[in-house]
Amino acid sequence: MINRSSFPEIAEAFSLTAEKYDRFGEDHPNLTRMRQKVYAHAFRYLQPGAHILELNSGSGTDAVYLARNGFRVHATDIAPGMLERLREKVDRFQLSDRVSVQDCSFMSLDQVRGGPFDAVFSDLGGLNCTSDLRPVTHSLPGLLRPGGIAIWVLMPPICLWELATALTGNVRFAFRRLARGGTRAHLEGKYFKVYYFTPRQAIASFGPGFSPLAVEGLSVFAPPAEIKDLPKRHHRLYSALCWLDDRLASHPPFRGWGDFFIATLRYVP
């Protein structure tokens, strides 16, 4: 059962952290690399000029990047602080003809304006705030054109970097993703649940109208998004870990591990 009553807490938490979120992403080569891996994956399947519905768009980093690379984006989120920063970026980069913005939850996709779309995109775990992906996926046939794609970046239960922290005695953090019934998270003093999905669970939530195209692990051996300084302090080690990622992250079992994984499916009605 989905606890929608937690969504106001989530919206407030991410509103309060919107400025910090953007600031944390500055001069962060590891997070930049992760986003570039997502974009490279997405560009293999997106047609030039595609019209994209973005879920959990946050402060607009992805929407702006996609728009500046020739796509049209309808960006949705429920955090007022994030939406404010998104709109500021659209104005700053003069992208109002390529990016539209709507205050809308991924649980209320029947309210989305501007469809049908060529793709539905969600980056860096926004959809991990629900315990059940099916209410989201079951809305997609009404939003996607036949042949359209879904590109979702989700957090899996297995993250090697987090599991390794058990060696330092931080057992609760190391195994938090494996907790039944989700993990209690907090941000800016607000508490909410986060849930983790295997690629198999994510793909199964789409049902028979969707055909899997690719699954790719994201930061399996390279550090997770929270680690900012390792690329600068230990450049050779970081380069070696990225080399491993580039060669193994799209192969089983590694593609289902990592800080995140990317799952792409095609809508075949």
What element of type H or E holds 250?
none
* Whole-number pLDDT of residue 198: 98
CB atoms within 10 A of CB 54: 27
pTM beyond 0.75: the answer is: yes
Distance CA 269, CA 123 (A): 25
User: Helix axis angle, 29-43 relative to 18-25, nearest 10°?
Assistant: 90
Mean pLDDT by 10 residues, the chain (269 residues): 68 92 95 98 98 98 98 97 98 98 97 97 97 96 98 98 96 95 92 96 96 98 96 96 98 97 97
Nearest to 133, CA basis, from 193, 181, 203: 203
* Whole-number pLDDT of residue 1: 45
Q: Which residues of 195-231 are buried (b: 16+ CB within 10 A; e: fewer)?
A: bbbbbeebbebbeebbeeeebbbbbbbbbbbebbeeb
Domains in the chain, ordered, with CATH? 4-157+195-267 (3.40.50.150)
Backbone angles phi, psi at 196, to 5 degrees: -120, 140
